[in-house]
Amino acid sequence: MHGLGELESAVMDVLWSASGTAMKVREVLDRLDRPLAYTTVMTVLDNLHRKGWVQRELDGKAYRYEPAIGRAEAAANAVREVLSTSGDPEGVLLHFARSASEWETELLRKALPRKRRK
């Protein structure tokens, strides 16, 4: 995900895949596909909390973490950031529209309501 490091993205994928279930550090660690120290995952989750990507609630002596925003919203925010920093948002959008697949084009047609011309 744009704006996140590789490990942060992997942790967010675990949280998004949990379908609304807040997770403790150990639970996230157990679902990652790489050997990491508990403290590494704890630090990543703390950083994600500080950045506003996750929210947490104390459960006994440990925090439970869950995404602060959904995957689709995060992706939309990333697109918005790319557009705002591109120097040519119109050109970027037009290039995307011209290069969009049939499936992407159909999704855009469904998502954008027809506007009445005056």
Residues 11 and 31 in one domain: yes
> Which residue matches tokens 């925003």?
69
Q: The domain spanning residue 52 has which CATH number? A: 1.10.10.10
In a domain, 85, yes or no: yes
Categorize the per-residue pLDDT at 117 as very low, low, confident or very high, splitting at 50, 70 and 90.
Answer: low
Categorize the per-residue pLDDT at 90 as very low, low, confident or very high, splitting at 50, 70 and 90.
Answer: very high
Counted domains in the chain: 2
In a domain, 81, yes or no: yes
SS3 33: coil
| Residue 31 to residues 14, 15, 40, 63, 115, Cα–Cα distance (Å) | 7, 10, 14, 17, 45
Summarize pLDDT for 11-52 with one digit per residue, the tens: 999 999 998 899 999 999 999 989 999 999 999 999 999 999
In a domain, 116, yes or no: no
Residues 27 and 63 in one domain: yes
In a domain, 118, yes or no: no
Element (H, E) at 55: strand 54-59
- Average pLDDT of the chain? 91
Quote the strand ranges of the chain, DSSP E: 54-59, 62-67
CA distance 83 to 89: 5
Residues 55 and 10 in one domain: yes
Find out whether 62 and 45 touch, Cβ atoms under 8 Å: no
Domain with 35 in it: 6-67
Residues 15 and 35 in one domain: yes
Residues 12 and 54 in one domain: yes
The number of CA neighbours under 13 Å toward the Cβ of 25 is 18
In a domain, 37, yes or no: yes
Q: Is pLDDT of 55 > 80?
A: yes
Categorize the per-residue pLDDT at 2 as very low, low, confident or very high, splitting at 50, 70 and 90.
Answer: low
pLDDT at 104: 92
Residues 47 and 78 in one domain: no
